[in-house]
Amino acid sequence: MSAPGTTLASAPSALPRWPDDGRMESVLAELRDRPPLVGYDRCRMLSDELAGVAAGHAFLVHAGDCAELFADVSPLLSARKDAQLRDLSWIVRCATARPVVRLGRIGGQFAKPRSCGVEDHAGEPLPVYRGDAVNDRATGALARHPDCGRLLTAYDKAAEVLRHLRERRRAGALYTSHDGLLCEFEEALVRIDSRTQTRYASSAHLLWAGDRTRELGGPHIELLASVANPVAVKLGPRATAADVAELVEVLDPDRRPGRLVFIARLGNDAVEQRLPELVEAALAADARPVWLCDPMHENTFCTAHGRKTRAVADLVREVAAFVRVLRLARAHPGGVHLEATPQHVTECVERREDGRSPVDLPRYRSGCDPRLNAGQARAVVAAFTRAVTA
Ligand code: PEP
Ligand code: CO
C-alpha cells in the first residue's frame, strides 16, 4: 500500500507529492530568475580540496543538522555551527597534522526523504514531516500539506545562512551541502557558468543523493551526473559492488579527483561485512572517491519513550570499523559525516542501555533525526582520529 501524500519513487514515500494546483510552475519560474546561491569558483575549490582527501593527504569533516529549520536561522546560530565544524576539524588536524576540509550540512538542508509517508499521532495517522522546504512540523493535517511556496522560503533562508557564513570567511572556508532530494528545486537553480560553459548546481557547493534516492537512471543520480559540482552518494546496507561500479561510471566517467564522495552508512552490524566489497569495487573501477563514514543513519533505535535515538558507543564502534576496513583495502579513510549541533540537546545517548531509562530525553529539539551535541560529536571525531593514527 502506498502511503497518502507520497509518490512512488526509488523508495516508496521518499519524495513529497506536491498538490496539482498549478502553483509549482510559477515558483520554479521565480527560482530560475534568482541569482545563484554559491559561486562556481568555490565549487571548484571544494573539488580541489576533496582531491587532496581522495589522495590521502587530507581529511574531511562533514556535519550539521539532520533537518535545518527556517525558524532557527540566525547569525548567531550560523556562527555557532561554523565554530562547531572548526572545532571538530581542529581535533582531526591536531592529531593527524593534515589539512581538514570542512563541509556543513548547512544552508539548504531543508528536505527529508522518508521511509513511511505517515506517522502515528495520538493514535491517528498524520502525513510525515518532510522538511521545512515541503511542509510544517506542527502536528496538524493542514500543516503537513506540501506547500511549494516553501521552496522560495528555502532559497531565502539558504541565502541568509550563506551570507552569515561569508561574513565569517576570515575564519576560513566552510563549504555547504545538502541532500539534493527536491529535483525540481535543484534543477531550477542549475546555472551555466559562462566562463567554463559548465552546468553547476548553484544551491550548494556539494549535493548528495540519499540511500533511498540513489537508483541508477533515477532523477537524483541524473541530476548529480549533469552538474560539475563535487557530488556524494550515500550507501546503505543494501548497496552492492555493482551499484558502486555503476555510480562511478555515471557520476565520475573521467575519474576526476575530488569529484565523487561515497558516504558509507552501513551500521555496526554490516560495516565490516559489507564495506570491503564496496571499496574494492571502486578500486577495481579505477576510481579514487573520497570515503566518508556516516555512523548515524543505520544505528538508530527507539527509546522506551518512543524517541528515535543513537548511542555514541555504537557510532564510535562504526567509525573505528570503517577505518579498519579502509586501511585493509589500502584506501584512505577520508573522514566522517555526522548529524550534530552546537545547541545544548540530548537527542543521542551515551550507551544503548540509556535508551531504556524511564526518564525521557529532556532536550530533544531535532526537526528529524537525533543529533550529537558538541561533546558527543567531539567524542565520535576523536574516535575517528584515534583509529586513523593508531
Ligand atoms: C540524512 O542524511 O539525513 C538521511 C536521511 O540519510 P539517508 O538518505 O542516507 O538515509
Ligand atoms: Co538524518
The string of DSSP letters for 224-280 reads HHHS-S-EEEEE-TT--HHHHHHHHHHH-TT--TTSEEEEE---TTTHHHHHHHHHH
Alpha-carbon span 385 to 96, nearest angstrom: 7
Q: What is the position in ligand 1's atom list of the atom closest to the CA of 105?
A: 2
pLDDT tens-digit profile, the chain (390 residues): 333 333 334 456 789 999 988 999 999 999 999 999 999 999 999 999 999 999 999 999 999 999 999 999 999 999 999 999 999 999 999 999 999 999 999 999 999 999 999 998 889 999 999 999 999 999 888 999 999 999 999 999 999 999 999 988 765 689 999 999 999 999 999 999 999 999 999 999 999 999 999 999 999 999 999 999 999 999 999 999 999 999 999 999 999 999 999 999 999 989 999 999 999 999 999 999 999 999 999 999 999 999 999 999 999 999 999 999 999 999 999 999 999 999 999 999 999 999 999 889 999 999 899 999 999 999 999 999 999 999
Domain residue limits at 145: 3-389
Which residue, among 148, 177, 165, has the nearest Cα to 50 in the 3D structure? 177
**Cell numbers 539548504 label which residue?**
108
Which residue, among 274, 271, 323, has the nearest Cα to 297 in the 3D structure? 271
DSSP letter assigned to residue 372: B
Beta pairing partners, 59: 100
Rg from Cα positions in the chain: 20
Alpha-carbon span 142 to 146, nearest angstrom: 9
Farthest-apart Cα atoms in the chain, separation? 60
77 three-class SS: helix
The answer to whether the CB of 180 is under 6 A from ligand 1 is no
Determine the pLDDT at residue 172: 66
Determine the pLDDT at residue 173: 84
The residues placing their C-beta within 5 Å of ligand 2, an ion, are: 66, 369
Q: How many domains does the chain have?
A: 1
Please tell me the pTM assigned to this model.
0.96
- Using CA atoms, how far residue 251 sits from 44, 156, 365, in Å, is 16, 29, 36
The answer to whether the CB of 66 is under 6 A from ligand 1 is yes
The answer to whether the CB of 234 is under 6 A from ligand 1 is yes
Q: Both ends of the chain: CA-CA distance in Å?
A: 49
Find the 370 Cα to ligand 2 centroid distance in Å. Answer: 8
For the chain, give the number of residues: 390
Find the 193 Cα to ligand 2 centroid distance in Å. Answer: 32
- Using CA atoms, how far residue 342 sits from 75, 244, 316, in Å, is 14, 34, 19
Determine the pLDDT at residue 12: 60
Q: From 211, 224, 233, give the residue whose CB has the most ligand 1 atoms within 8 Å, as the site to mutate.
A: 211
Q: Is 82:104 a contact under the CB 8 Å cutoff?
A: yes
306 three-class SS: coil
**Nearest ligand to the C-alpha of residue 178?**
1
Q: From 129, 265, 296, give the residue whose CB has the most ligand 1 atoms within 8 Å, as the site to mutate.
A: 265
Which three cell numbers mark 310?
Answer: 543513537
The answer to whether the CB of 212 is under 6 A from ligand 1 is yes
Q: Is 101:175 a contact under the CB 8 Å cutoff?
A: yes
Q: Is 178:203 a contact under the CB 8 Å cutoff?
A: yes
Which residue, among 255, 254, 233, 229, has the nearest Cα to 43 in the 3D structure? 229
Alpha-carbon span 48 to 68, nearest angstrom: 27
- Which CATH number belongs to the domain containing residue 104 in this structure? 3.20.20.70
Which residue, among 23, 19, 138, has the nearest Cα to 70 in the 3D structure? 138
> Which distant-in-sequence residues (6+ apart) come within 8 Å of 23 by Cβ?
148, 149
Closest Cα to atom 7, ligand 1: which residue? 210
Find the 113 Cα to ligand 1 centroid distance in Å. Answer: 7
Name the strand (E) or helix (H) holding 378: helix 374-389
Name the strand (E) or helix (H) holding 374: helix 374-389
Task: Write the single-letter amino acid at 122.
Answer: A
Q: From 10, 233, 369, 371, give the residue whose CB has the most ligand 1 atoms within 8 Å, as the site to mutate.
A: 369
**Cell numbers 506517522 label which residue?**
119
Determine the pLDDT at residue 14: 87
